[in-house]
Amino acid sequence: MATATMTSKGQITVPKEVRDDLNLVAGSKVMFVKLSGGQYRLIARTGRIQDLAGMLYDPDRPALTIEEINNAIAEGGAESGLRGMAN
């Protein structure tokens, strides 16, 4: 298992094995996606959008109805104060 140590400046060096597996080179971008349970997934931004399909799927969570999804979107917009939205 590859490990890395964070410096006092919050930086880490991605181990060579991981860089090779993710096709990371100097200047590559990575995303940190927060999952349930306080875990994160590191996603290399070297692939295609299709590579992200299904990454947030949680088989233990029941599917939401369209009404529940719409309500969640409305609540999220209200909580954010609709920042950045043009009137």
The answer to whether 42 and 31 are in contact (CB under 8 A) is yes
> How much is the pLDDT for 87?
47
Query: What is the mean predicted confidence (pLDDT) over 6-16?
Result: 94
> How much is the pLDDT for 62?
85
Let me know if residue 46 belongs to a domain: yes
| Total count of domains within the chain | 1
Let me know if residue 1 belongs to a domain: no
The answer to whether 32 and 44 are in contact (CB under 8 A) is no
Query: What is the mean predicted confidence (pLDDT) over 44-51?
Result: 71
Task: List, in sequence order, every residue forming a beta bridge with 42; answer none if it has no partner.
Answer: 32
CA dist list (Å): 51 to 47, 56, 61: 6, 12, 22
Let me know if residue 36 belongs to a domain: yes
**Where in the sequence is the domain holding 61, given as residue range(s)?**
16-79
Let me know if residue 58 belongs to a domain: yes
DSSP 16: H
Let me know if residue 3 belongs to a domain: no
Let me know if residue 84 belongs to a domain: no
Res 15 pLDDT > 70: yes
